[in-house]
Amino acid sequence: QPPPPPPAPVVRPMPEGPFKRLNDSVAKESFAEDKMRIISMAAGDNYFLISQVAQLLNHFPFSQDKLTAVRALKPRILDPENGYQLYSAFSFSSDKKRLQEILAQR
């Protein structure tokens, strides 16, 4: 009989220590483009909780940049059901609607 299938890989959010270093690195950058570059690099190998995404969004003053960051991190978010926690990062209804659309995408 064939061997059993391998166990599914365990997916965990980015650990606290490395996340703090990522958050600090993003904070040190002056421009949104550079902040996004760091976030995109981190998203390649890590998974995130909504609470971590919220912390990263704090580094962007403009809604458009925040939405870009959410779009980049979306495939790596482990608890999208908690996405409502990100609404407080946005002031305008139109941006909150856009956020909802991004999080709803499969």
For the segment 39-65, what is each residue's pLDDT rounded down to a tens digit?
999 999 999 999 999 999 999 999 999
24 — pLDDT class (breaks 50, 70, 90)? very high
Cα 51 to Cα 59: distance, rounded to the nearest angstrom: 14
pLDDT of residue 1: 84
Give the CB-side neighbour count of residue 106, counting CA atoms within 13 A: 0
pLDDT at residue 10 greater than cutoff 90: no
**pTM of the shown model:** 0.90
63-66 LR contacts (CB < 8 Å, sep 24+)? 63/90, 63/91, 63/92, 63/95, 65/32, 65/35, 65/36, 66/90, 66/95
